[in-house]
Structure 1
Amino acid sequence: MTTPGSLDVTQAEGPPGPFTWYRNLNQQERRTFWSCKIGYGLDGMDTQMLSFVIPTLIALWGITTGQAGLISTSTLIASALGGWIAGILSDRIGRVRTLQLTVLWFAVFTFLCGFAQNYQQLLVARTLMGFGFGGEWTAGAVLMGEVIRAKDRGKAVGMVQSGWALGWGLTAILYAALFSLLPPEDAWRALFVLGIVPAIFVIFVRRLVKDPEVYRQAKIQEAPSHPAHFYEIFAPGMLSITLRASLLTTGALGGYYAITSWLPTFLKTERGLSVLGTGGYLAMVIVGSYIGYVISAYLTDLLGRKKNFILFAIGSFIVVLLYTQLQVSNEIMLWLGLPLGFFASGMFSGMGSFLTELFPTRIRGSGQGFCYNIGRALAAFFPLLIGLLSQKVSLSLGIGAFAAVSYGVVILAALSLPETRGKELEAQ
């Protein structure tokens, strides 16, 4: 049986089991899998640092929640632009080379955040960091989606994206450790300085990972006089798909950012939890996130892409309202964190494979990069709007309202899009 990533390789089926798909990968495919998984983990580690230090910056610099929200929003807008450009670059210069460039970029600028002397410097450094982390998602998602054969694509890409939760968990551990050992004015800087670590990862990718065979074949077949252009995703035959897929990502990311950007602040300011107490609650959310990624990775191949999105959107809608609106004990809040992370993060397991399957190879990076990142750009305003709204109403009300609208959008968009489960990728 052939795979998209190895068109000329026949793979023997292993004994049936939940990890048969992994045992059937060849050496290059496994290297790609782990490079993308580690890449997402490092991306998640650097990206989530800001949400942990917002309460400290509010206390040290006297910034408002609106200003804190602006940092998050500007970072996400920059990441949307970076993701779109990375998608175009991945069609032009290759998936792997683009992955290398984006990881190096976000690592360097995360490091520089640790040396900001005021709000304005941090805003600039963090915004530039966003340009790289948005690009890394696009390059990694396209790369992984093209390597894995159709029937296992959802599982493999979803398992790769679970690396985000691992990176988020690593940030939580570093946050708790640094803020326990160092005074707050030094601890937040040390956290950002550790963001340079992903730069080392680029060496591994450069040496061991190659572009997928389906992409290389597409480049060979591409006529020099008619190269692929990113604007083809807006052609009459593709425009409807592009717009509906963008609506799907806007809803998914809007709900996710509404929750994660303000969760540490919500737990500390409205629930009155200490640094270590906040870490415990976040740990439950992060564990739930990882489990959600893994379970959803299998469900997206079992149920189909659309049904999986709808299932996780409904679950997210219910749990986020319970988490933010119910006046319950701290013990119940702790356990609610598990399904909160499960549904809010698990939804993204199917996103990479679904967007990969919606676009032809020659414009896949451009299409996937645009749809995911225009959604990110629109969703980027949610942290800012929630921050501004929280100056008039409770933070919990702002988070709950924006999340509820977002997941409703996901359901409507999923219903309108075609099912792509099992779709074979072609070199065209």
Structure 2
Amino acid sequence: MFTWYSRLDGTEKRTLYACFGGWAVDALDTQLYSFLIPTLIAAWHMTRAEAGLLGTSALISSAAGGWLAGILCDRIGRVRVMKLAIAWFVGFTVLSGFCNSFGELLGARILSGIGFGGEWAAGSVLMGEIIRPEYRGKAVGTVQSAYAIGYALAALMSSALFATLPDATAWRWMFWLGAAPALFVFLALRGVPEPQVFLSAKRARALTGEANVSPFMIFHPRFLRVTVLTSLLALGVQAGGFSIIIWLPTFLKTARDISTVAVGYHMFVLTVGSFAGYISAAYFCDAVGRRRNFVLFALLNWLAIPAFLYLPQAAGLMYALDFVLGFAALGIYSALGPYFTELFPSSIRGNGQGFSYNFGRGVGAFFPTVVGILSGGGLLPLRDAMGMTAVSAYLFVFLAISLLPETKGRDLNEVPDGGLDQTDDEPVRFRNLAQVRD
């Protein structure tokens, strides 16, 4: 099953290790807040809408951070930006543990979001460019499974800390310990070079006076269709996940009447399911193609989400549904990285991926707030609000996939600065970006 891994060269393996660690830290930092919502609501007397805003604010700022990081990736390099992004979000995660009010934590989470949005943008394009085409889906999807490791660490930390420390102290240690794994990432990144396809394309553009491409080139008519559709795809994937995952601990604790410690166990099972989903999607997207993979997982979410929310809560069934929900809602992420890498040309690849993924993250971040408003204002029970917003989000996935081309096996070296021919979906060659503008 993993024979492809043994065929990777040293550079490919070092890149995989570094990005795996970076995305695990990203996931740990992102997910730990969901475990703290009930505690912070009680400690600071927040409303559900305010609690949703704390989660949403970091996701919105990550959209800006991801686009900025993508632009910088195309200018100063993928590895350098990834290091800067990790240092940034880890620093503000530590700061979050020292906050004493809703306003302070809101500011810290907004600043933290800038960093973890940038980390995905840099790591995704780095992996996509270094890993060879035949293993790109598997490798990037395997790295995406690091999110499951981060989620599992967050769940275990939550159960352990809230079982041994007072709630008023435990939530602070959640933030502080969440920054610790970043040391591994910095050590791993020391041996990772900039991708050769990026360096070669940058040198070629420099010879024609196009070394630094405008950040708005992704909105040029030649590329706008791909930018819009990848943004909608990212929106559907992430809005669906956010609507469920961010509110899941609160749903289990209030609607299912489960203790904080037991919630951690359920989230751990969900995380195991997400790991299986990430790996499965990584293989599916190389086996059946990127587009079919998204369709399969979107359909599975339409089945898994209502089942999780409305079926009887017998203990054994709940754990089985935890696994299936994690498999579907998070496994669908795996194909985003390789698909976006293959859709954008080299000169705007970091920019395009950073914008599209984080547009989806930023706009999708409003979906948890909608859940909070609908359920907190008495309009709907929490389960109905979660189900309605999550299921509707996957309509964006179907829309985008119906209009985007298949890119399985695309060689990134073939067209460093070209575009996609929207009539036959084959790469088009340009000597430089001046021809695109003409």
Same fold? TM cut 0.5: yes
Within a 5 Å distance, the mapping from 1:254-273 to structure 2 comes to: 254-273=239-258
**In the alignment, which of 374, 392, 400 is matched to residue 405 of structure 1?**
392
**In the alignment, which of 404, 407, 417 is matched to residue 404 of structure 2?**
417
Which residue does the alignment assign to 2:298?
313
Letter in 2 for 1:409: F
Q: Structure 1 residue 230: deviation in Å?
A: 1.9
Is the 8 Å Cα contact of residues 201 and 346 (structure 2) preserved in structure 1?
Answer: yes
Letter in 2 for 1:364: R
Question: How many pairs were matched up?
Answer: 411
Within a 5 Å distance, the mapping from 1:63-78 to structure 2 comes to: 63-78=46-61
**In the alignment, which of 188, 199, 211 is matched to residue 216 of structure 1?**
199
**In the alignment, which of 176, 184, 196 is matched to residue 167 of structure 2?**
184
Within a 5 Å distance, the mapping from 1:192-211 to structure 2 comes to: 192-211=175-194
Is the 8 Å Cα contact of residues 81 and 373 (structure 1) preserved in structure 2?
Answer: yes
Which residue does the alignment assign to 1:251?
236
Q: Structure 1 residue 214: deviation in Å?
A: 0.7
CA distance in 1: counterparts of 2:228 and 2:188, whole angstroms: 33
**In the alignment, which of 129, 132, 138 is matched to residue 121 of structure 2?**
138
Which residue does the alignment assign to 1:282?
267
CA distance in 2: counterparts of 1:123 and 1:331, whole angstroms: 38
Give the % identical residues.
47
CA distance in 2: counterparts of 1:419 and 1:202, whole angstroms: 33
Which residue does the alignment assign to 2:422?
none
Q: Structure 1 residue 219: deviation in Å?
A: 1.2
Letter in 2 for 1:346: G
SS in 1 for 2:258: coil
Residue 56 (1) aligns with residue 39 (2): yes
CA distance in 1: counterparts of 2:77 and 2:171, whole angstroms: 36
String of CA shifts for 1:272-319, please: whole Å, max 9, x gaps. 001221112111110000000001100000010000000000001110
Q: Structure 1 residue 411: deviation in Å?
A: 1.5
CA distance in 2: counterparts of 1:221 and 1:204, whole angstroms: 31
Q: Structure 1 residue 223: deviation in Å?
A: 2.7
SS in 2 for 1:223: helix
Instruction: After superposing the two structures, state which structure 1 stretch, 205-214 or 127-136, moved more.
Output: 205-214
Q: Structure 1 residue 329: deviation in Å?
A: 2.4
Q: Structure 1 residue 260: deviation in Å?
A: 0.8
Q: Structure 1 residue 198: deviation in Å?
A: 4.0
Within a 5 Å distance, the mapping from 1:20-419 to structure 2 comes to: 20-223=3-206, 225-226=209-210, 227-391=212-376, 392=378, 393-419=380-406
Q: Structure 1 residue 199: deviation in Å?
A: 4.0
Letter in 2 for 1:116: C
Letter in 2 for 1:68: A
CA distance in 1: counterparts of 2:205 and 2:386, whole angstroms: 47
Letter in 2 for 1:233: I
> What TM-score results when the alignment is normalised by the length of structure 1?
0.94
CA distance in 1: counterparts of 2:362 and 2:29, whole angstroms: 19
Which residue does the alignment assign to 2:427?
none
Is the 8 Å Cα contact of residues 99 and 139 (structure 1) preserved in structure 2?
Answer: yes
Q: Structure 1 residue 327: deviation in Å?
A: 3.8
CA distance in 2: counterparts of 1:58 and 1:250, whole angstroms: 28
Is the 8 Å Cα contact of residues 104 and 202 (structure 1) preserved in structure 2?
Answer: no
Instruction: After superposing the two structures, state which structure 1 stretch, 247-256 or 388-397, moved more.
Output: 388-397
Is the 8 Å Cα contact of residues 128 and 337 (structure 2) preserved in structure 1?
Answer: yes
CA distance in 2: counterparts of 1:385 and 1:206, whole angstroms: 38
Which residue does the alignment assign to 1:13?
none
Q: CA RMSD in A?
A: 1.1
Letter in 1 for 2:266: Y
Q: Structure 1 residue 127: deviation in Å?
A: 1.1
Is the 8 Å Cα contact of residues 108 and 195 (structure 1) preserved in structure 2?
Answer: no
Letter in 2 for 1:365: G
Q: Structure 1 residue 205: deviation in Å?
A: 4.2
Is the 8 Å Cα contact of residues 93 and 112 (structure 2) preserved in structure 1?
Answer: yes
CA distance in 1: counterparts of 2:333 and 2:101, whole angstroms: 35
SS in 2 for 1:271: coil
Q: Structure 1 residue 200: deviation in Å?
A: 1.8
Residue 19 (1) aligns with residue 5 (2): no
Instruction: Give the gaps of 5 or more residues in structure 1.
Output: 1-17
Letter in 1 for 2:327: F
CA distance in 1: counterparts of 2:23 and 2:103, whole angstroms: 28
String of CA shifts for 1:132-178, please: whole Å, max 9, x gaps. 01110110000000011111110010001100110110111111111
CA distance in 1: counterparts of 2:41 and 2:370, whole angstroms: 17
